Amino acid sequence: MEYLVRGKDVLLWQPDFQLAETLDCGQAFRWAPDGDGYSGFRLDIPLTILPERDYFRLVNTTEETFLTVWREYFDLDTDYGELKRLFSQEETLREACAFAGGIRLLKQDPWEALISFLISQNNHIPRIKGIISRLCGVRGHFPSPVELAGFTQEEMDSLRAGFRSKYLLGSAELVSQNQVCLSEISRLPLEEARQALRILPGVGPKVAECVLLYGMYRVDAFPVDVWIKRVLERYYPEGIPHRFLPQAGIAQQYLFHYIRNIPQKSLQLAH
């Protein structure tokens, strides 16, 4: 990671990073194309990031915010080139890494990840974004656990979240009352953390795995949705190779994007 403060902006030189591939691949839902770049939030911290020549411009931020927020969020201290070399030992992952080599895992806030993936269940990505956008519109920012637990019926209805509304309210109550403490869970061994998360209403195996991976940076967590199920059936009937398991969550991110975006024709040919 190399960076430079330039006026109110931070310039970042970072290989293995493409904005669209990272910010629009179904791991975070609050980024939107803005000019040549993207604008979005981590919780309530806004950012516009633009690609320029051989670097990125983080617009109107400070060195402190960059070092304490965005450095972690964009996982800038992890060498994705090395990860891709490891994954590329195997054929399908090699294809997936070559297909979108600019994907990075976003290290999101655990509460934001919990709410996002509660909403994601049995839902389409464009609609997930819409519900989260309306969720942030109610109070003008991403609601805290206490705020969300206090939403009126009318405010919940305005989200049009369907059957997921009761999961959002129920989980917000448990977290706001500290009956479930996300920061404590994030320090538990993986299997214990899974069980602890599943106390929350609406959190089953898939959502728990997403909270662990995206919100608690447990890169050995491996969310299996309908798309990854297809990947496993088609390419890994024996399971993911053992040597990838410690970072299976990151491998999963390349595979998810790959299976959703390769032309249907090559899917059929490959079968």
Q: Which residues bind DNA (CB under 7 A)?
A: 25-27, 117, 120-128, 130, 160-163, 167, 198, 201-208, 210, 223-228, 252-253, 256, 260
- Which of residues 92 and 253 has its CB atom nearest to DNA in the complex? 253
| Cβ count within 10 A of residue 148 | 23
Q: DSSP secondary structure string, 110-165?
A: HHHHHHHHHHHTT--HHHHHHHHHHHHHHHSSPPPHHHHHT--HHHHHHHT-GGGH
- Which of residues 234 and 260 has its CB atom nearest to DNA in the complex? 260
Q: Rounded to the nearest whole angstrom, what is the least distance from the CB of residue 207 to DNA in the complex?
A: 4
- Which of residues 10 and 23 has its CB atom nearest to DNA in the complex? 23
- Which of residues 71 and 206 has its CB atom nearest to DNA in the complex? 206
- Which of residues 3 and 222 has its CB atom nearest to DNA in the complex? 222
- Which of residues 119 and 148 has its CB atom nearest to DNA in the complex? 119
Q: Maximum CA pair distance of the chain? A: 53
Rg, C-alpha atoms of the chain:
19
Closest CA to 110 of 200, 225, 24: 200
Q: Which residue spans within the chain are E strands per DSSP?
A: 2-6, 9-13, 32-34, 37-42, 45-52, 55-59
- Which of residues 51 and 201 has its CB atom nearest to DNA in the complex? 201
Alpha carbon distance, N-terminus to C-terminus of the chain = 40
Q: Rounded to the nearest whole angstrom, what is the least distance from the CB of residue 265 to DNA in the complex?
A: 16
Q: Rounded to the nearest whole angstrom, what is the least distance from the CB of residue 174 to DNA in the complex?
A: 11
Q: Rounded to the nearest whole angstrom, what is the least distance from the CB of residue 54 to DNA in the complex?
A: 28
With 0-12 / 13-18 / 19 or more C-beta atoms within 10 angstroms meaning exposed / middle / buried, residue 114 is: buried
Q: List the helix and strand counts (H, then E) for the chain.
A: 17, 6
Q: Rounded to the nearest whole angstrom, what is the least distance from the CB of residue 120 to DNA in the complex?
A: 4
Q: Rounded to the nearest whole angstrom, what is the least distance from the CB of residue 240 to DNA in the complex?
A: 13
Local structure of residue 100 (DSSP, 8 states): -
Q: Rounded to the nearest whole angstrom, what is the least distance from the CB of residue 166 to DNA in the complex?
A: 7
Q: Which residues pair with 34 in a beta bridge?
A: 37
Residue type, 85: R
